[in-house]
Structure 1
Amino acid sequence: MNASTIGAAVGAVLALTWVAFGFWAFLFVGLAMLAGVGVARLVRGDIDLHGLVQALRGRRTSS
């Protein structure tokens, strides 16, 4: 699957959630999707968790 197909599927899921269950369910599903992406990138090794924490604390720059 390419990025356009995945984007369309995510948009469809979010739109159907909003229509069927309302705004707060839409917001929850969207946040859960973002959390899932973050965990997947962390497990895959795309995100350096220690470096991210240090950058958020101001002890290291993110660039």
Structure 2
Amino acid sequence: MSMAVIGMVAGMALGFAGYFGGFGAFLLVAALGAIGFVVGRFLEGDLEPGDFFRPRDRDRGDRRR
């Protein structure tokens, strides 16, 4: 399934939730969709649990000497 079709389905789901359930339902569907996306990426192996807790490399030239 292409990313365009997935995006269209997600947009339609959010639209239906917003129309029939109001703004609260829209936010709930959006939040659960985001959580499902992260879990799916984790299960596919694209993310590791340490990616959320590991400090990022910051190379901005302000290193301590």
TM-score (norm 1): 0.80
Match of 2:13 in 1: 13
Give the ranges of 4+ consecutive aligned residues of structure 1 lying more than 2 Å apart after TM superposition. Answer: none
Unaligned runs of 5+ in 2: 59-65
Residue 42 of structure 1, CA deviation = 1.0
Show CA shifts across 1:21-43 (max 9, x none). 00011001100000001011112
Name the aligned partner's letter for residue 61 of structure 1.
D
Residue identity over aligned pairs, in percent, reads 29
Alignment RMSD: 1.6
Aligned residues: 58
- Matches of 2:37 and 2:18, distance apart in 1: 20
Aligned match of 2:39: 39
The structure that has the greater radius of gyration is: 2
How far 1:2 moved relative to its partner? 1.1
Name whichever structure is richer in helix by fraction.
1
Q: Which moved more, 1:42-51 or 1:24-33?
A: 42-51
